[in-house]
Amino acid sequence: MNFSSESIQVIKIKGRLDIFRAVEIESQLKTMLDSGCSLIVLDLSELEYLSSSGLRICLDLLRQINARKGKLTLCGMNPTVRKMFHMVEMEDLFEIHKNLGEALSSF
C-alpha cells in the first residue's frame, strides 16, 4: 500500500504509558480516530515504561484501525518495551519497525 505522508499520523509517546496516563492517551487517540485518521505510526522511541494498561491501549487502537481498514505500525521500541510485547505474546499482532523512517516507508 502506498499513502501520502499527509494522511499518516505519527504519534510519539514519551515517558511512561501506564494506568496514570491511560485516560489522557485514550482521549487523544479517540479524538484522532473520530477525525477520520486511520493510518497511524506509534513512535515509541522515547517510551521508558509500558504497563498492561499501555498494552491494552495499543491493542484497542489496533482493533479500531483494523475495523476502519487502516494501518497501524509501531516503531522505535527499546528492549524493555519490546520485551513486554513479547512476554504477553502480542509481538506478532503488530507491524513493528526499528525506527520512524522504516515505519513510514512501510506505507
* CATH number of the domain encompassing residue 46: 3.30.750.24
Cα separation, 36 vs 22, in Å, equals 21
- Integer Cα distance of 6 and 18 in angstroms: 30
Rounded to two decimals, the pTM is 0.85
In a domain, 100, yes or no: yes
Query: Is residue 62 in a domain?
Result: yes
pLDDT-derived band at 6 (thresholds 50, 70, 90) equals: low
Q: Please indicate, yes or no, if residue 3 is contained in any of the structural domains.
A: no
Cβ within 8 Å of residue 54, ≥6 positions away? 17, 18, 21, 22, 25
Q: What's residue 4's pLDDT?
A: 41
Count of the separate structural domains present in the chain: 1
Q: Which residue has the cell 517510551?
A: 47
Q: What is the mean pLDDT of residues 64-72?
A: 92
Q: What is the mean pLDDT of the segment spanning 60-80?
A: 94
Domain that holds residue 39: 8-105
Residue 93 included in any domain: yes
At residue 44, does pLDDT exceed 50?
Answer: yes
Asked whether 58 and 42 are in contact (CB, 8 A), the reply is yes
Q: Is the pLDDT of residue 2 over 50?
A: no
Residue 83 belongs to some domain of the structure: yes
